[in-house]
Amino acid sequence: MIIKRVVIVLQITAVLLPSTVLTAEAVTVPCGFKAIVSDTGVKVYKKDYASGISEYVTVVNLNSGEISNLTGALVNAPDGEIDRKSMNDFWNDAAKQNTSTRNARVVVNGTFFKQKNTPTSIAFGLKVAGKTITYGYGIDEFPNLISTFSFNSLGKTASIQPYNKLTFDTSTPDVVGALDPTANKSADKYLPRTFVGVRDDDGNNYMETVIIYSSASARQVDASNVLKNFGASSIAMLDGGGSTGLIIDGKTYINAGRTVPQAIAVYAGRHI
């Protein structure tokens, strides 16, 4: 009888343990993905397919790594128009901000914009280093399907939430307009894609880990599924198609077909 009681207690305890918290140890790298970069706070994984297409996933933990918004020159402040730059130019900008304690490892393209304009306007809003550049010209284009990716590298947190102008007015220093992953941007076509997700690795209800998906040929569901498999609890779609670009350590892995107004840099290590 004593043995039976002990078994019952152990079973109840197992049921009561939280099952929704993902720790760094609990997140298993999905099958086929292999690390090609492993540095302080940053890992980049790659999965190759027989077709010659590869998927890349950049994981940065803001407790020991950083991300930063990069933009072209602000031309027309009231309308939020920004000069466009090549991804290589953005990589050079990121590398110029290296310090003795942090180094740029990855640069990816960022938010949606007017492709035919140079300088260009931002579709769904952009805030950089505490300054709101624009709330976005296209916030009525995808009703209830616009998102924002917000991050505070100094505060070591990030989040993804439905679009709200108030998000740009809070103390969060960086906000990037995005789309919900279900918004139809040629969803079923195999196109270049950039998606972003966040997760909580330490169970404190603050998302400190950012996960970025990059591919030269994927459907929206493919990008979402990969991020979910990497433990992302929230996901947003960044600009894609000809804007998708990925540079790792100065080498182009996905070549953007056009210049872009904004990019995201990933750094190993942090400012002291």
Q: What pTM does this model have?
A: 0.90
DSSP 3-state assignment of 167?
helix
Say if residue 21's pLDDT is above 50: no
DSSP 3-state assignment of 159?
strand
- β-partners of residue 70 are 263
Q: Is the CA virtual torsion 109, 29, 248, 270 positive or negative?
A: positive
DSSP-derived secondary structure for 82-94: E--B-HHHHHHHH
Place 78 in a pLDDT band, splitting at 50, 70 and 90.
low
Say if residue 229's pLDDT is above 60: yes
Look at residue 26 in the predicted model and tell me its pLDDT. 55
246 with 108: CB under 8 angstroms? yes
Place 77 in a pLDDT band, splitting at 50, 70 and 90.
low
Lowest mean pLDDT among 10-19, 55-64, 135-144, 186-195: 10-19
Say if residue 4's pLDDT is above 60: no
214 with 252: CB under 8 angstroms? no
- Pick the closest to residue 237 from 224, 226, 225, 248 (CA basis): 224
Rounded mean pLDDT of 27-51?
Answer: 96
Question: What percent of the chain is predicted at pLDDT more than 70?
Answer: 89
